[in-house]
A and B are shown apart, each in its own frame.
Chain A
Amino acid sequence: MAKKNSRPNDDVNGNVNLSPMIDCCFLLLIFFVVNATQITVAKDPSVKMPSAVSCSDLKDANGCIVVNVFSDTDKMAPKALEKYSKDYPPGSLWGVADANGRSIGYNTGQVQELTDFIKKQKETFKGKGLEDGKIRLYLRGDMAAPWERSSTAIRCAAAAGVTNIVFGTLPSK
């Protein structure tokens, strides 16, 4: 009989109140969802980003055609060089990612191919209903890359009909 009486007490003590944990979990989830949507452009670690004093947040990455501009390999950090060598053919000056996330490198002799890629991306965005003004070239130039390479990428974008340019930067320390 005594054993029978102890059963209900055990049942009462076994319940854990999960509601505060669920509250915290939801708060964290909302925080990370909001932060994750801020930047959706592909970040290539082979590029060491320049810093700028008057820069603003990239609120909407939709319509951004990302082009990476590389510096000379002797100026790259070991990790960046390793990633660059793995992803791009030797001599690549510009790097992009296609719709499947595959890295494509272009060298000085492939300027027309880069223009065609930008044009194709532009058409893809237009097909999704984006206006011309919202389609932008997102230039991720390495801080040590010569200006000639960045200006060539801008020229390719202009030839493809993309006149809004966004320079990718990091906030200045």
Chain B
Amino acid sequence: MARHKQIQTEQQEDPEMNISSMIDCCFLLLIYFLVATSLVSEKKLDISIPASAQSASSQKPPVDPGRIVLQADGSATWNGDMTVADPYNPEAEPGTSEYRSQRELEQLVEQLKNYKDLASSVQAEPVVMLTGAPSAPHQRIVDIMAALAEAGIKSVGISTADTGSD
């Protein structure tokens, strides 16, 4: 009976855990991640270069690869004859309609989607060859890559106009 009473008094005492060190650690981690985090995160555009093993095959592909030629001024043509991008204007202000049309390249996206449908109809992988002038701005290449990504084409052969293909 005496023993039972003793246990009851021990249980009635509030067990207190010292959490101050945990709070310290928590604050340190919070400050670290607060400083290390960048909220404006970079995005990505994926492409895959056709590997040499694939290109070594002597079989002719069921559909010819689409060809985009980028000029030094930023204008681009599709399959040699159709202009699909106007000359690049680096002065275009973000938010304006000119800036949007410079980035979106609707004509090119349409052509690429048609080409992808054509390739899908014969169960072939759509491959696009992109030839750029050496002095063409990198931003224009990214615009074309974005158009390719929007059309769902990931396999892109890349070359520069005067040095030959990669």
User: Bound pair: A and B?
Assistant: yes
Q: Tell yes or no: B4 within 8 A of A by CB.
A: no
Stretch with Cβ within 8 A of A (4 or more), from B38-46, B58-66, B119-127: B38-46
Measured between beta carbons, the chain A residues less than 8 angstroms from B143 are 50, 52
B84 at the binding interface (Cβ < 8 Å): no
Chain A residues whose C-beta falls within 8 Å of the C-beta of B41 in the assembled complex: 35, 38-39, 57-58
Contact check: which of A155, A158, A169 meets B42 at CB < 8 Å?
A169
Asked if B34 is at the interface (CB within 8 A of a chain A CB), the reply is yes
A44 to chain B, nearest CB (A): 11
A147 and B132 contact, CB distance less than 8 A: yes
Task: Check: A151 CB closer than 8 A to any chain B CB.
Answer: yes
Which of A86-94, A98-106, A122-130, A137-145 is the contact stretch?
A137-145
Q: B144-166: which have CB < 8 Å to A? A: 145-147, 149-150, 158-160, 163, 166
The reply to whether B43 and A147 contact each other, CB–CB distance below 8 Å, is no
- Interface core residue of A144, A171, A173 (most chain B CB under 10 Å): A173
Given A26-B26, A53-B150: A154 in contact with B44 (beta carbons within 8 A): no
Closest residue on chain B to residue A139 by CB atoms: B138
Residues of B in contact, count (CB < 8 Å): 54
Interface pair A146/B137, CB less than 8 Å apart: yes
B87 at the binding interface (Cβ < 8 Å): no
Which residues of chain A are near B45, meaning CB under 8 Å? 52, 54-56, 166-167, 169
A162: nearest chain-B partner, CB-CB: B49
Known contacts A148-B160, A151-B159: does B33 contact A58 (CB below 8 Å)? no
Q: Is B133 an interface residue (CB 8 A)?
A: yes
In Å, the complex CA distance between A29 and B164 comes to 52
The 6 A-B pairs of least Cβ separation, nearest first, read A32-B33, A55-B43, A148-B134, A52-B146, A143-B139, A173-B94
11 inter-chain pairs at a CB distance below 8 angstroms, sorted by A residue, are: A28-B34, A32-B37, A39-B41, A55-B146, A58-B41, A140-B42, A141-B142, A148-B163, A150-B141, A167-B141, A173-B94
> Measuring CB to CB, which residues of chain B are less than 8 angstroms from any residue of chain A?
19, 23, 26-27, 29-30, 33-34, 36-51, 70, 90, 94-95, 99-100, 103-104, 132-143, 145-147, 149-150, 158-160, 163, 166
